[in-house]
Structure 1
Amino acid sequence: MPMQANSPVYAVIGDPVAHSLSPAMHNRALAACGLPGVYVGFRVTDLPVAVAGIRALGIRGVSVTIPHKVAVMPLLDEIDDTARRIGAVNTISNESGVLKGTNTDGLGALKALETVTAVDGRRVAILGAGGAARAVAWALSNAGAKVALFNRTVPRAAALARQMNLEWGRMDNLARWRAEILVNTTPVGMAPDAGAAPVAAAILDPAMVVMDIVYNPLETTLLAAARRLGCTTVDGVQMLVFQGAAQFERWTGVAAPVTVMRQAVIEALSPTLTHRHGQAAVF
Structure 2
Amino acid sequence: MRISRDTRLCMSLSARPGNFGTRFQNYLYEALGLDFVYKAFSTTDLPAAIGGIRALGIRGCAISMPFKEACIPLLDRLDPSAAAIGSVNTIVNDDAHLAGYNTDYIAIVRLIERYAISPDTRLVLRGSGGMGKAVASAFRDQGFRHGTIVARNEAAGRTLAEACGWDWCATPEAATGTLLVNVTPIGMSGGPEAGALAFPDAMIAASETVFDVVAIPVETPLIRAARALDRTVITGGEVLVLQGVEQFVLYTGVRPTAAQIQAAADVALA
**TM-score, with length taken from structure 2:** 0.85
**More displaced, 143-152 or 234-243?**
143-152
Q: Give, in angstroms, the shift of residue 34 of structure 1.
A: 2.3
- Please name the residue that 1:222 is paired with: 222
For the residues of structure 1 that align with 2:90 and 2:262, how far apart are their CA atoms? 21
Equivalent residue runs for 1:126-137 within 5 Å: 126-137=125-136
- Please name the residue that 2:173 is paired with: 172
Aligned match of 1:188 in 186, 189, 202?
A: 186
Contact 1:218–1:236, Cα closer than 8 Å, also in 2: yes
Contact 1:78–1:100, Cα closer than 8 Å, also in 2: yes
State the one-letter code of the partner of 1:186. Answer: T
- Please name the residue that 1:55 is paired with: 54
For the residues of structure 2 that align with 1:154 and 1:88, how far apart are their CA atoms? 18
For the residues of structure 2 that align with 1:47 and 1:199, how far apart are their CA atoms? 33
State the one-letter code of the partner of 1:265. Answer: A
Pick closer, same or farther for the CA change 1:62–1:152 going to 2, 3 Å: closer
- Please name the residue that 2:37 is paired with: 38
- Please name the residue that 1:71 is paired with: 70
Pick closer, same or farther for the CA change 1:20–1:149 going to 2, 3 Å: farther
Aligned match of 2:266 in 247, 263, 266?
A: 263
Q: Give, in angstroms, the shift of residue 161 of structure 1.
A: 0.9
The 3-state SS of whatever aligns with 2:67 is: coil
The 3-state SS of whatever aligns with 1:146 is: coil
Q: Cα deviations across residues 64-83 of structure 1 (Å, max 9, x unaligned)? A: 22332222211211112221
For the residues of structure 2 that align with 1:264 and 1:154, how far apart are their CA atoms? 37
Q: Cα deviations across residues 60-105 of structure 1 (Å, max 9, x unaligned)? A: 1111223322222112111122212322211111123321111122
The 3-state SS of whatever aligns with 1:153 is: coil
Q: Give, in angstroms, the shift of residue 137 of structure 1.
A: 0.2
Pick closer, same or farther for the CA change 1:163–1:145 going to 2, 3 Å: closer
The 3-state SS of whatever aligns with 2:84 is: helix
- Please name the residue that 1:241 is paired with: 241
State the one-letter code of the partner of 1:184. Answer: N
Aligned residues: 263
Pick closer, same or farther for the CA change 1:140–1:11 going to 2, 3 Å: same
**More displaced, 161-170 or 89-98?**
161-170
Q: Give, in angstroms, the shift of residue 15 of structure 1.
A: 4.0
Contact 2:151–2:168, Cα closer than 8 Å, also in 1: no
Q: Cα deviations across residues 92-144 of structure 1 (Å, max 9, x unaligned)? A: 11123321111122222333444333454543321222222111001121122
Q: Cα deviations across residues 132-186 of structure 1 (Å, max 9, x unaligned)? A: 21110011211222352332527242232124433334522323xx43x321112
Equivalent residue runs for 1:9-24 within 5 Å: 9-17=9-17, 19-24=18-23
Contact 1:32–1:260, Cα closer than 8 Å, also in 2: no
Pick closer, same or farther for the CA change 1:155–1:54 going to 2, 3 Å: closer
Pick closer, same or farther for the CA change 1:59–1:194 going to 2, 3 Å: closer
Contact 2:105–2:138, Cα closer than 8 Å, also in 1: yes
State the one-letter code of the partner of 2:252. Answer: T
Equivalent residue runs for 1:111-126 within 5 Å: 111-118=110-117, 120-126=119-125
Pick closer, same or farther for the CA change 1:77–1:150 going to 2, 3 Å: closer
Identical-residue share of aligned pairs (%): 34
Q: Give, in angstroms, the shift of residue 16 of structure 1.
A: 4.5
- Please name the residue that 1:104 is paired with: 103
For the residues of structure 2 that align with 1:14 and 1:266, how far apart are their CA atoms? 18
Pick closer, same or farther for the CA change 1:229–1:243 going to 2, 3 Å: same
Higher relative contact order (CA 8 A, sep 6+): 1
- Please name the residue that 1:155 is paired with: 154
Structure 2: 5+ residue stretches without partners: none
Pick closer, same or farther for the CA change 1:163–1:144 going to 2, 3 Å: closer
